[in-house]
């Protein structure tokens, strides 16, 4: 017996739950970073905002690609997600290194 909901297999449901949870967590972090930036305007906070924003874009695009469910998009979504994550981690490394 496999888990299926609205025509999606179990693995896609789990992936959607994980990505939606990531979106909620990243939205919370982004809110806190923006609140912190309004109080203390420093480059470190800007870097954290960019980092959270890029990962938020990655998670949203992953949800869209999972919902679209076209096999042609699978490779492209992994490629795009990898590039966005690379940029986000580069921002985090630079900010952490500088401060």
Dihedral sign (CA 31, 36, 42, 47): negative
Return the H-helix or E-strand segment holding 47.
Answer: helix 43-68
Q: What is the pLDDT of residue 37?
A: 94
Q: Measured between alpha carbons, how far is residue 77 from residues 25, 45, 98 in Å?
A: 21, 29, 32
- Burial, 23: exposed, middle or buried (Cβ in 10 Å; 0-12, 13-18, 19+)? middle
Q: What is the pLDDT of residue 31?
A: 92
Q: Is the pTM of this model over 0.85?
A: no
Chunk the chain into consecutive blocks of 10 residues (it has 99) and report each block's average pLDDT, rounded to whole numbers.
Answer: 59 80 89 92 90 90 78 61 78 79
Q: What is the pLDDT of residue 95?
A: 78
Query: 5 pairs with which residues across the strands?
Result: 8
């Amino acid at each position: 017996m496999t888990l299926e909901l609205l025509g999606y297999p179990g693995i896609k449901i789990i992936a959607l739950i994980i990505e939606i949870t990531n979106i909620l967590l990243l939205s919370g972090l982004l809110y806190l970073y923006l609140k912190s930036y309004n109080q203390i305007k420093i480059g470190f906070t800007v870097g954290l905002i960019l980092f959270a924003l890029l990962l938020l874009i990655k998670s949203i695009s992953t949800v869209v690609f999972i919902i679209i469910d076209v096999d042609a998009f699978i490779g492209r979504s992994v490629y795009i997600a990898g590039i966005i994550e690379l940029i986000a981690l580069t921002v985090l490394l630079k900010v952490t290194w500088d401060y």
